[in-house]
Amino acid sequence: MTIDAPLADTSSADAPTQAALRELAAHAEAICDAVAKGLTGKRDVVETTIAVLLSRGHLLLEDVPGVGKTTLATALGKALGLDVARIQFTPDLLPSDLTGVNIYRPHSGEFEFRPGPLFSQVVVGDEVNRASPKTQSALLECMQEGQVTVDGTSYELPSPFFVIATQNPIEMDGTYPLPEAQRDRFTARLTMGYPPAESELSMLDMHDLDEPTRTIRPIISADEVHKLSQTTALIYAAKSIKQYILDLVHASRESPHLQLGTSPRAAIQLLRVAKAHAAITGRDHVLPDDIKTLASPVLAHRLIPEDAGTTSAEIDEILKNIITNTPIRVHRNEMTRPEVS
């Protein structure tokens, strides 16, 4: 379903101005172009990643080795001009290696907190499923509440705070699959896939002389990311759009093929990412197409099938059937923000 509705009147105080929308779309375009210097043929993946960032969420990249998961995370961090920390998850990694530790200072007789790599604006967790569940759990508080608690004291994390974690679903020896609670913290899960043939040829040319991500320069600052996030929060979502989201969520809970459907958190995050996706395309309102496009990345990794042997591809197919069979009860005149008299 595609509705080409015009921009609504943005004169009300709680609506983003058209100038703000043009600025956001221009920044998103510039970031995509910058990331493309190191990662070709994946513009849709980059756009969804930017939408997750602007919705104040976190991203899980799951795919086979060598398709550009870490490259995407690194290139995006450089293009955003934010403080980036890369963590290689291993079985011997401890929670304190992420959060930081209290160190005793003999000269003062006091403990001093030394922050860990989680105190960065962009945290790239490479092969997150190779760490023990105890270490994985260190991400739970920071991803949900934006803080870290060490020895009973809570420390606020920087803002924006964006976790991009990668994992390889093929090689499972010596890994610890992410539990349901951990997966639910990730706003979306994306797969990279292999690039098109022409993009792969361009990639060979790009990597012929040097690592292309070295040439990426910051596009925007942390303050600008804040500003863009505030703009996306003002995008209008009609009540019928919100009901459509709930219809999808409830259908997943009632599916005979699923042991566990999606959580209320999933509905909230789907709405937020849909708003960011609309803003990136220059719209001040959410369309049903935004929801349909993002339903699989946002919802699929949260579903628990009845059959333990069900593959990720089969779960995606179950969700696709849910989306196909869930009616869209949205009318054209409900799409845009009501005019303020």
pLDDT digits (tens, 9 = 90+) for 314-336: 888 999 999 999 998 877 777 77
List the structure tokens of 276: 């960011």
The yes-or-no verdict on residue 194 having pLDDT over 90 is no
Using alpha carbons only, what angle is made at residue 13 by residues 292 and 279, rounded to the nearest 5 degrees? 25
Amino acid identity of residue 290, one-letter, is D
- Give me the helices (H) in the chain, please: 18-35, 43-54, 69-80, 95-99, 133-136, 138-145, 180-185, 197-206, 222-233, 239-254, 264-280, 288-299, 312-325
All structural domains of the chain with their residue ranges: 16-234, 236-341
Question: What does the alpha-carbon distance between residue 211 and residue 41 come to, in Å, rounded to a whole number?
Answer: 17
Question: 27-31, 141-145, 176-180 — which is least confidently predicted?
Answer: 176-180
Confidence of residue 206 (pLDDT cuts 50, 70, 90): low
**Inter-CA distances, 97 with 59, 91, 143, 207, 276, Å:** 21, 12, 16, 33, 33
Amino acid found at 231: T
Determine how many CB atoms are found less than 10 A away from the CB of residue 145. 12
Mean pLDDT in residue range 186-208: 76
Q: Which of 25-39, 80-94, 239-253 has the highest mean pLDDT?
A: 239-253
| Cα 319 to Cα 35: distance, rounded to the nearest angstrom | 30
Least confident of 1-10, 11-20, 113-122, 148-157: 1-10
Q: What three-state secondary structure class fits 127?
A: coil
Residue 166 and residue 126: Cα distance in Å, rounded? 5
Confidence of residue 207 (pLDDT cuts 50, 70, 90): low
pLDDT for position 192: 80
Task: Give the CATH number of domain 236-341.
Answer: 1.10.8.80
Question: In this model, does residue 341 exceed pLDDT 60?
Answer: no
* 47 against 4, higher pLDDT: 47
H-helix or E-strand spanning residue 256 = none
Q: Of 275, 252, 274, 273, nearest to 263 (Cα)?
A: 252
**pLDDT tens for each residue of 127-136:** 999 999 999 9
- The larger pLDDT score, comparing residue 63 to residue 203, is at 63
Angle, CA 140 vertex, CA 111 and CA 125 arms, to 5°: 90
For the segment 258-299, what is each residue's pLDDT rounded down to a tens digit?
998 999 999 999 999 999 999 999 999 999 999 999 999 999
What local confidence, expressed as pLDDT, does residue 212 receive? 65
Indicate if the pLDDT at residue 2 is higher than 50: no
**Residues above pLDDT 90, as percent of the chain:** 50
Q: Rounded to an integer, what distance in angstroms lies between the CA atom of residue 254 and that of residue 1? A: 24
Q: Which residues, in sequence order, are CB contacts of 24 under 8 Å at separation 6+?
A: 54, 228, 231, 232, 279, 280
For residue 340, what pLDDT band results from cuts at 50, 70 and 90? low
Residue with tokens 């789907």, as numbered in its chain = 270
Distance separating alpha carbons of residues 310 and 260, to the nearest angstrom: 13
Homologous superfamily, domain 16-234:
P-loop containing nucleotide triphosphate hydrolases (3.40.50.300)
pLDDT at 5 over 60: no
